[in-house]
Amino acid sequence: MNTYVWFDAIGWSGAAALLVAYGMVSFKKLEGDSIAYQFLNIVGSLFLAVNTVFYRAYPSSFVNMIWIGIAVFSIARRKRVPSG
């Protein structure tokens, strides 16, 4: 199997993870600040970032790296803030 197929599969998996996350929040199956939602965002964005770096789509890579940073920050902040 050639390299392009692997990177395409990684990219499509990332897109699916982000869409599942968005759908779950939209249909109130997950909360927007839940760890599960943020984890799906991290995985999806990481996979898309790998795909976009491979294809040299650097603006999309940049957006996905920021998306990962936001999700990681959200999880870290959630763990620091005592629940009320």
Give 73-83 pLDDT, tens digit per residue.
999 988 776 65
Contacts of 32 (CB under 8 A, 6+ apart): 25
In which domain, by residue range, is 66 found?
Answer: 3-80
Q: What is the pLDDT of residue 82?
A: 67
Q: Tokens standing for 11? A: 């990219």
Q: What is the pLDDT of residue 83?
A: 59
| pLDDT higher than threshold 90 for residue 42 | yes
- Number of domains within the chain: 1
* d(C-alpha 73, C-alpha 13), whole Å: 23
* d(C-alpha 71, C-alpha 77), whole Å: 10
